[in-house]
Amino acid sequence: MSAKIDKESIRQALSQREKRAIEAEGFRSAAVLIPLYEKGGEHYLVVTKRTETVNAHRGQISFPGGVHQVGDESLMDTALRESWEEIGLNPKDVEILGELDSMCTFTTNYVVSPFVAAIPYPYEFKANPGEVEEIIEVPLAALLDRSNFWEELQPLQGKLIPQYFYQCGDRVIWGATARILKQFLETVFGA
């Protein structure tokens, strides 16, 4: 399946669906950004490898983002602020294309709102060493390759739920990031 798609097609695919919002008692609101760019005719997205010193999701691959704070006017503002703090992505350089469904993180009790965005390329990212060990650029073609995806049923609160995994070179994307990624790929590419 081809990973070639323009930002207007992404915007249209995201706008043709109604966002499913979740409110869960005892969960904190958070937001992430899915930064996309085109390089050499192919599309990429940006994820981070979190440091081993952060409070939550140590060493995991995640989208830039974090918890909603009092000064944030909206969850989109949260995603933009956190992307600026974590990877040096200036909000002025971000074009929001749409939003995906909110998702819960059950081990850390967050309701995460994902925002899909186009960013310029090349971009001079700056990793915040307190939060981000590495900034990783992932080709969408690799994520759309079904041989890089698998699913396992895992127990959670007495039920078996599907857990998704994406192999990206020597890294594995899993957890809420993989669930967000799966929804993005299904919505935009029908994958």
CATH code, 55: 3.90.79.10
Contact between 103 and 114 (Cβ < 8 Å): yes
pLDDT-derived band at 191 (thresholds 50, 70, 90) equals low
pLDDT score recorded for residue 3: 59
Look at the chain and report how many structural domains it folds into.
1
Overall average pLDDT of the 61-69 stretch: 95
Overall average pLDDT of the 12-24 stretch: 87
- Looking from the CA of 75 toward its CB, the CA atoms found within 13 Å total 19
* 3-class state of residue 102 by DSSP: coil
* 106 part of a folded domain: yes
81 or 106, which is more confident: 81
Query: Considering the chain, what is the average pLDDT of its residues?
Result: 91
pLDDT score recorded for residue 158: 86
Least confidently predicted of 54-58, 71-75, 111-115, 130-134: 54-58
Backbone CA torsion sign across 41, 137, 186, 68 = negative
**DSSP-assigned beta bridge partners for residue 50:** 132
* 60 part of a folded domain: yes
pLDDT-derived band at 18 (thresholds 50, 70, 90) equals confident
pLDDT score recorded for residue 1: 47
pLDDT score recorded for residue 57: 55
pLDDT score recorded for residue 23: 77
* 64 part of a folded domain: yes
Cis peptide before 122 (omega within 30 of 0): yes
Among 160, 176, 185, 150, CA closest to 36: 185
* 19 part of a folded domain: yes
Residue 13: give the domain boundaries.
7-139
154 or 76, which is more confident: 76
Distance CA 12, CA 30 (A): 25
* 173 part of a folded domain: no
pLDDT score recorded for residue 24: 79
pTM assigned to the model: 0.93
Overall average pLDDT of the 51-69 stretch: 80
* 45 part of a folded domain: yes
